[in-house]
Structure 1
Amino acid sequence: MSSWHSLPLEISYQVLGWLAFFAWSFSFYPQVILNYRRKSVVGLNFDFLVLNLTKHSSYLIYNACLFFSPLIQRQYREKYGKDEMIPVAANDVAFSCHAVLLTAITLVQVLIYERGNQKVSKTCIGISSLAWVAAAICVFIALPHHSWLWLISVFNTIQVTMTVIKYVPQAFMNFKRKSTEGWSIGNILLDLTGGVANYLQMAMQSIDQGSWVNFYGNIGKTLLSLVSVFFDLLFIVQHYILYPSKKANYSPTVGGEGKSPLLKSVNVAQDESV
């Protein structure tokens, strides 16, 4: 089992890893708080949430198995080299657990808050179902030969695929509405910080070990950072440049008839489309 050669690089690795954990973990809270304050989830794409739950659940399975299982760790070293360090850190497991929990909480908000006529699309349900059916089939394929590293790599592939897909509905929704209201930019800024810190953490390990195996040995983590950064930059452009927020007062009236301008505009758009 390989060990660190440089103490400063090891410390940098740990600091960057936990920076990524806190940034990514806190990135869930602005949206939850925004939903709570508005008592509404209008403007938040439900497909994004369902795909996000599938993504983080798959990523949790991968991280937890590779971090805790000596058998899978042995298979990893047999494939990539006996001196290679395991490319999953404690902060990765902690983040995955937290992400599944907060995504589930946000989905509960969808059930209890004003959502207009929004609903999960059949396409999203189909994609998520296909992912889990494929995972179940792979479990039975892996069982006879105990191909556990290959199996968790399947879950890693699922999380990468979901990462690519999950942002598209929200980005398209922003484009269609010409607005990012209801979609927290705080979430995006923290997500961007986490993605950059995550990538730098992997770089610290590679520099110390003189090997870039951890980048392709855990290709899911690598692609997770790159894809997240790409879409975060896209959302930042949408929020600050393409569709800057227009200030509007919101004052609820007795009887609950006062509604936010966002909700009114969504309802008008829905009425016109009927």
Structure 2
Amino acid sequence: MEGVSWKSAILEGAYDACGWLAFAFWSSCLYPQLFLNFRRKSVVGLNFNYALMNNTKHAVYFIYNACLYFSPDVQFQYRSKYGFHQMIPVAANDVALSFHFVVLTLLTLLQIATYDRGNQSLSKFTIIMVGGVWLGVVVCCFVAWPSHSWLWFLSILTSIQVCMTAIKYIPQALMNYLRKSTEGFSIGYVLLDFSGGTLSYAQMIMQSIDQNSWVNLYGNIGKVLLSLVSMLFDLVFMWQHYLLYPNTKGPHSSKLDEQITEPLVTPLSQQDTSVTTPDKSSTIQGA
């Protein structure tokens, strides 16, 4: 971090250790879901709206981190606003982590496209919202380009990240509630995500203590809010898994396992082909 150095070698070492530990936890948190889907050859129980919004959120977060970490212009604008003695609040592990998440969430979407889906599908609202997000990102980029207002552009990305994070968990939490089960949604993801969030907060606090300034927190409010919202929903999922619906192998699970595979979009020609077969016993009784 050019022009800014750590005052305490101990805090610097602890900061780096927490950063890479958070990277290890966060980068591992999506693997339990991928392995669970692969083992079951099914994505029943994983909400597709959550999966698509999760990919969008991480892609936007990667753009944010890459701009702030690699671009001298963005770093100059950041220090002009918050002080030239301030450290850039994005580390190498943040960039690596966000790129890693983009790849893993794309693999999850690929599993959704290929594995047994039961009767689940993407909602039109989610598709329209995600399309609107990317359209907004492109428009804001073109608006910022002539005046090089990149810090403003990053603030827009921050707002998108926080909104997507707040919204994306709701479909999965609601689905768990309606099914009265968390089967199909990996609790390993939740535990690793919560651990990563805790270490991320510890990392930011260490940097603030070393620099004797809390600009690191409100200057990177996006990262703070993202971690906070994610950890709150992690607590909700833990509550559902361990307290509300601890017996995941219940009757709801067996019913879902018996559902047939349906396409993500049902063709109109197939919507009216179902014919109700009269019950044999009722026919005899009527005779």
Identify whether the pair has TM-score above 0.5, normalized to the shorter chain: yes
Q: Which residue of 2 aligns with 1:170?
A: 172
> Normalising to structure 2: TM-score of the pair?
0.87
For 1:41, the aligned partner's letter is V
2:256 pairs with 1:263: yes
2:139 aligned to 134, 137, 140, which one?
137
Rounded Cα–Cα distance in structure 2 between residues aligned with 1:265 and 1:220 = 42
Q: Which residue of 2 aligns with 1:43?
A: 45
- Compared CA separation, residues 246 and 63, structure 1 to 2 (3 A): closer
- Compared CA separation, residues 143 and 234, structure 1 to 2 (3 A): same
2:181 aligned to 169, 179, 190, which one?
179
Which digits, 9 at most, give the CA deviation of each residue in 1:56-97, with x for residues without a partner?
A: 000000001100111110000001001000000011001001
The Cα shift of 1:262 comes to 5.3
Matched positions, count: 258
Gap regions ≥5 residues in structure 2: 261-275, 277-287
Q: Which residue of 2 aligns with 1:196?
A: 198
Q: Which residue of 2 aligns with 1:123?
A: 125
Q: Which residue of 1 aligns with 2:69?
A: 67
Which digits, 9 at most, give the CA deviation of each residue in 1:122-163, with x for residues without a partner?
A: 111122112112212211211121101111221122111111
Q: Which residue of 2 aligns with 1:271?
A: none
The Cα shift of 1:266 comes to 5.8
- 193-202 or 147-156, which moves further after superposition? 147-156
Rounded Cα–Cα distance in structure 2 between residues aligned with 1:93 and 1:161 = 20
User: Secondary structure of the equivalent of 1:120?
Assistant: coil
Q: Which residue of 1 aligns with 2:267?
A: none
User: 1:195 touches 1:225 (CA, 8 Å); kept in 2?
Assistant: yes
Structural RMSD (CA) = 1.7
Alignment of 1:1-150 (within 5 A): 1-150=3-152
Which runs of at least 4 in structure 1 moved beyond 4 Å after TM superposition?
none
The Cα shift of 1:245 comes to 2.3
For 1:110, the aligned partner's letter is I
Which structure has the larger Rg?
A: 2
- 34-43 or 110-119, which moves further after superposition? 110-119
Q: Which residue of 2 aligns with 1:256?
A: none
User: Secondary structure of the equivalent of 2:74?
Assistant: helix
User: Secondary structure of the equivalent of 1:86?
Assistant: coil
The Cα shift of 1:247 comes to 4.1
For 1:193, the aligned partner's letter is S
For 2:110, the aligned partner's letter is V
User: 1:59 touches 1:159 (CA, 8 Å); kept in 2?
Assistant: yes
Rounded Cα–Cα distance in structure 1 between residues aligned with 2:45 and 2:114 = 15
Rounded Cα–Cα distance in structure 1 between residues aligned with 2:257 and 2:35 = 21
The Cα shift of 1:265 comes to 6.5
Rounded Cα–Cα distance in structure 1 between residues aligned with 2:256 and 2:248 = 14
User: Secondary structure of the equivalent of 2:148?
Assistant: coil
Q: Which residue of 1 aligns with 2:240?
A: 238
Gap regions ≥5 residues in structure 1: 249-259, 268-273
For 2:119, the aligned partner's letter is N
The Cα shift of 1:246 comes to 3.9
Rounded Cα–Cα distance in structure 2 between residues aligned with 1:245 and 1:90 = 41
Rounded Cα–Cα distance in structure 1 between residues aligned with 2:259 and 2:244 = 19
For 1:89, the aligned partner's letter is A
User: 1:191 touches 1:232 (CA, 8 Å); kept in 2?
Assistant: yes
Q: Which residue of 2 aligns with 1:219?
A: 221
